[in-house]
Amino acid sequence: MARLFRTRSEKKTSLWGRVVRLALTDVRVAVGGMDTETLESLEERLLAADFGIQATLRLVDRVEALARKGKVRGTEGLRAALQEELSAILSPASEAFLQASDSGPTVYLICGVNGVGKTTSIAKLAHRLVKEGQSVMVAAADTYRAGAVEQLSIWAERAGASFVRGQKGGDPAAVAFDAIEAAWAREIDVLLVDTAGRLHTHKNLMDELEKVDRVVKKKLPGAPHESLIVLDATVGQNARAQVEAFSKVISLSGIILAKLDSTARGGIVVSLLEEFGLPVKLVGTGEGLEDLELFDPDEFIQGVFQGS
């Protein structure tokens, strides 16, 4: 299968440094190596940065194991041990490019709860694809909120993408079905299917999402080529519950991490990959159409330790 976004964007190490830097300079390492106090301090910092319990325990255990062998001495040794283990955790994200169909339209199913930045993330993705020479169509399968459809229509126009909508209160799966037909007829490269923003605890709406996914699969074998969940970077570990719930309904392939600003802590990208094997593929870094970047694990690791 082909890939979209073959090249990564300009490096923004300072972004990750600002968001998630661990400031290891004031994690005191005993002269003889790691001690209990140091390990506890490290664990607290990782948890505070939203690395989550599972990833935090893995990192601390690795540092402790190396310390027993005399391989972790001083801040530099601690830094090197953490970098090595983080690289191992994030290695699957190194090849987490967006997949594309070899023939016919590429279909991306976009899901997420209300308020996470899903609409603007779709617009940013459409804009970037258009800039890379792709023809893009956006389908508004959120038929329950007229305001949401109108907002998406405006954003799609700004992004240079065509737009498909259904009847208010109509069948979201029917919108996806018609959009695939339209994309085929117009020889569209990429179809972005927006689903209704929903609470992951709302069973009826989650059932509707499952139906959309099922109809897309039946209408176009191999689709959706990506099923992306949009998460708000500022909610930290609350994102875990959303991923867990949506994963029970559709087969998620990756994450768009929105609202990555000074209030986000960023370690959630490690937590979600460690626990669910789900990579962050794109990060929203601002409010403009241009503010969408491919997630780069090396850049993330550099940012974590910047200035430490």
Sorted by where each starts, the structural domains of the chain and their CATH numbers stand as 13-93 (1.20.120), 96-304 (3.40.50.300)
pLDDT tier, 9 (very low <50, low <70, confident <90, very high otherwise): low
pLDDT tier, 233 (very low <50, low <70, confident <90, very high otherwise): confident
pLDDT of 213 strictly over 90: yes
Mean pLDDT value of segment 75-81: 87
pLDDT tier, 249 (very low <50, low <70, confident <90, very high otherwise): very high
Model confidence pLDDT, tens digit, residues 19-31: 666 766 566 665 5
Model confidence pLDDT, tens digit, residues 159-195: 999 999 988 888 999 999 999 999 999 999 999 999 9
Mean pLDDT value of segment 228-252: 91
**Over pLDDT 90: what percentage of the chain?**
54
Rounded CA gap, 35 and 76, in Å? 15
pLDDT of 84 strictly over 80: yes
Q: Is the pTM of this model over 0.75?
A: yes
Q: What pLDDT sits at residue 275?
A: 93
pLDDT tier, 72 (very low <50, low <70, confident <90, very high otherwise): confident
Q: What pLDDT sits at residue 262?
A: 57
CB 299 within 8 A of CB 78: no
pLDDT of 121 strictly over 90: yes
Model confidence pLDDT, tens digit, residues 252-307: 999 999 988 656 678 889 999 999 999 999 999 888 999 998 888 988 888 888 75
